[in-house]
């Protein structure tokens, strides 16, 4: 009788332990599902936001870029004063900066850099490069992008391809002032991102805001003070 009661008690304990374990597993799966759903929702929001804004944005940027590029080229072809092309190039770069800042805000919220934002900014920077008639933007784009591309190829989880694509635009923008500024901007962005990650005590952060912020910080003084290329001197 004692053995029967003892066996029954042991069976009950095992059942309770199995039930507790099942509850724990169900809760763990639910938590993981909620995290996955939240991440999926955030990505969906980013895609939806980009799809709502980007088509009009790209067309508007393309139209404005064609107009400002034509104005700048007319100034060069007709030997008009330097300020003529300076205004055109400054307008193109400032419009690109607005779009890049918008992309950085989206990245900070959803960890995603919408391609069409990058394309829109790239269109404007390309127009400015055409007016400048120099290869410096190409050098700047290569210098800025190559390190990020290598990191992406080695560890895609550490460096998203969106950061690599936007680096092309940012490097070209740096090249409009001095292609070596792309290296300064990249190092500044890396340092800023590291400091922010340490301050927040997190392992990773969105890199887009640091890239855009560092580029604006190094390009803006060159635009104001004057460029070695002479287009703002």
Structure token digits, residue 153: 């190829």
* Interatomic CA distance for residues 166 and 29, integer angstroms: 36
pLDDT of amino acid 215 = 95
More confident: 101 or 232: 101
Q: What percent of the chain clears pLDDT 70, i.e. is strictly above it?
A: 67
Range among 11-25, 201-215, 218-232 with highest mean pLDDT value: 201-215
* Confidence band for 37, pLDDT divided at 50, 70 and 90: very low
pLDDT of amino acid 32 = 52
Of 138, 134, 104, 103, residue with least CA distance to 119: 103
Q: Is the pLDDT of residue 83 over 70?
A: no
* Cα separations in angstroms, 115 against 74, 90, 107, 169, 186: 31, 23, 11, 12, 20
Q: Is the pLDDT of residue 46 over 70?
A: no
The answer to whether 112 touches 45, Cβ cutoff 8 Å, is no
CB < 8 Å & 24+ apart, contacts of 132-138? 132/89, 132/176, 132/229, 132/231, 133/76, 134/175, 134/176, 134/229, 136/175, 136/176, 136/178, 136/179, 136/229, 137/171, 137/172, 137/173, 137/175, 137/176, 137/179, 138/172, 138/175
* Interatomic CA distance for residues 130 and 69, integer angstroms: 7
* Confidence band for 80, pLDDT divided at 50, 70 and 90: low
Query: What single-letter DSSP state applies at residue 206?
Result: -
Environment class of residue 27 by beta-carbon count within 10 Å: exposed (0-12), middle (13-18) or buried (19+)?
exposed
Mean pLDDT of 204-233: 75
More confident: 120 or 61: 120
Q: What percent of the chain clears pLDDT 90, i.e. is strictly above it?
A: 32
Q: Tens digit of pLDDT for each residue in 198-212? A: 998 888 889 999 999
Q: Is the pLDDT of residue 72 over 70?
A: yes
Whether this prediction's pTM lies above 0.85 is answered by: no
Structure token digits, residue 202: 């997190």
More confident: 191 or 48: 191
Q: Tens digit of pLDDT for each residue in 98-154? A: 889 989 999 988 888 888 899 989 988 998 888 888 889 999 999 999 999 999 999
The position carrying tokens 């939806």 is: 48
In residues, how long is the chain?
233
pLDDT of amino acid 165 = 95
Q: What are the two backbone dihedrals, phi and then psi, of residue 160, each rounded to the nearest 5 degrees? A: -70, 155
For residue 131, what are the contacts with CB-CB under 8 A and spacing of at least 6? 68, 69, 72, 73, 76, 85, 88, 89, 92, 231
pLDDT of amino acid 225 = 57
Rg, C-alpha atoms of the chain: 26
* Interatomic CA distance for residues 214 and 191, integer angstroms: 10
Mean pLDDT of the chain: 77
| Summary count for the chain: helices (H), strands (E) | 7, 0
The answer to whether 163 touches 211, Cβ cutoff 8 Å, is yes
pLDDT of amino acid 12 = 59
């Amino acid at each position: 009788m004692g053995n029967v009661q003892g066996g029954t008690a042991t069976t009950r304990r095992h059942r309770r332990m199995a039930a507790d374990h099942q509850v724990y597993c169900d809760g763990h799966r639910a938590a993981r599902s909620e995290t996955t759903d939240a991440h999926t929702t955030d990505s969906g929001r980013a895609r939806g936001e980009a799809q709502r804004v980007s088509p009009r944005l790209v067309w508007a940027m393309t139209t404005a870029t064609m107009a400002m590029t034509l104005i700048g080229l007319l100034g060069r072809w007709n030997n008009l004063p330097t300020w003529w092309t300076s205004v055109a190039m400054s307008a193109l770069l400032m419009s690109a900066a607005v779009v890049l800042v918008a992309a950085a805000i989206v990245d900070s919220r959803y960890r995603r850099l919408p391609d069409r934002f990058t394309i829109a900014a790239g269109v404007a920077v390309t127009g400015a490069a055409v007016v400048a008639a120099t290869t410096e933007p190409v050098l700047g784009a290569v210098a800025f992008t190559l390190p990020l591309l290598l990191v992406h190829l080695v560890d895609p989880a550490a460096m998203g391809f969106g950061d690599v694509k936007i680096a092309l635009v940012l490097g070209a923008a740096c090249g409009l002032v001095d292609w070596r500024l792309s290296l300064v901007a990249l190092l500044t962005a890396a340092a800023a991102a590291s400091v922010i990650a340490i301050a927040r005590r997190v392992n990773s952060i969105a890199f887009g805001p640091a890239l855009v912020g560092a580029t604006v910080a190094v390009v803006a003084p060159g635009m104001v003070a004057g460029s070695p290329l002479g287009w703002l001197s």
